[in-house]
Amino acid sequence: MHDPTQVKAKETALRVVQPQHYQQLFSYQVCRRWWRLGQDRALWRHVDLSPHRLSSRTLWHLLRRHLRGSLRTLKVKGALCSARKHEVLSPALLAALGKHCPHLGRLCLAEADLRLLPYRSMPASLKTLELSHCEIPSAWFQGTAADALPQLQHLIVCNVPAFCDQHLLNVSSQAPLKTLTLSGTYRVTDAGIQRAAVYLGGLERLVLRHCVITDSAVHFIGHHLKSLRLLEISNAYSLTNAGLACLATLKRLETLCLDLCDKFSPDAVVALCQALPQLRNLNLDGAHFEDEAICKIQASLPNCSFSHTP
């Protein structure tokens, strides 16, 4: 049996060791028990600093004192939307991060200006890279496989306005991606999907939100991405029944989400789903179907969970 007071102390420690308390934690003399809890490496496996804007100096301090071999996940917010504009990350800091934290597998960057940060400076151990509301240079994701992220499997890009077809091609051709999420990347076009799809045969999860794509892009998805288990397409107002039919080749697909794609007919949806033997989840949020059409879709998919919000 665990001593409930010890459990409570550890829970409290998790709340105390928050970025806004770092200065107090190191300024005030604390009891040895709290100090030992702060040194517990288990507390520094998954570190989320994104709710707070830290200075580069503070991050260096954390890296030297606490972020060591136990670190698996790190979330950091940059200064892109801050008045001081002094970026937290630097090539030197990332190099030190890769050296001191060799097992870091997931790095999440938000509101960071990465235009002066070489892609090759990213820790080579990364398997997941998440970019949200960041600025990146045109040269990012370029380089040989040795300079890139050799273990990268999951890429999530949300509201990164500079991300374009060339970025997509670069990262797709360098890393065997299993997950790709593009949200608000309006510079990615049908041509970009066509060129990258050739390299994405091992992709298992694809999410395209607010991307400017048409039936042409869906054709190449159906032709090349045969390993897909999850496909989500939202706010693609140009997709039609012709594009939907191209997805019938995705025989491993288990989850299909088509949000705010309102040019599909109920019959086309039924025909597609009946051609997908592994389909277990269908989401048609935003589709303007009559109740009779919804009932028809549900009746045709007895082994599939169906959700629809008009």
Q: Where are the domains of the chain?
A: 153-310
Nearest alpha-carbon partner for 276 in 301, 294, 303, 250: 250
Distance (Å, whole) CA 228 – CA 25: 47
- Tens of pLDDT along the chain (310 residues) come to 444 444 444 444 444 445 555 555 554 555 666 556 556 666 789 999 998 888 889 999 889 888 888 899 999 998 887 666 677 899 999 999 999 999 999 999 999 999 989 998 999 999 999 999 999 998 898 866 556 788 999 999 999 999 999 999 999 998 899 999 999 999 999 999 999 999 999 999 999 999 989 999 999 999 999 999 999 999 888 899 999 999 999 999 999 999 877 788 989 999 999 999 999 999 988 777 888 888 888 888 888 998 888 7
What percent of the chain is helix, strand and coil (3-state, nearest 5)?
35, 15, 45
Distance (Å, whole) CA 114 – CA 101: 21
pTM: 0.85
User: Would you state the pLDDT for residue 133?
Assistant: 96
Distance (Å, whole) CA 119 – CA 60: 20
Distance (Å, whole) CA 3 – CA 249: 56
The CATH-assigned architecture of domain 153-310 is: Alpha-Beta Horseshoe (3.80)
User: Would you state the pLDDT for residue 237?
Assistant: 85
194 three-state secondary structure: helix
User: Would you state the pLDDT for residue 190?
Assistant: 96
Cβ atoms of 262 and 238 closer than 8 Å: no
155's CB contacts (< 8 A; 6+ apart) are 128, 129, 130, 171, 175, 177, 179, 180, 181
Nearest alpha-carbon partner for 255 in 221, 286, 222, 279: 279
Cα→Cα distances 139→119, 156, 302, Å: 8, 18, 49
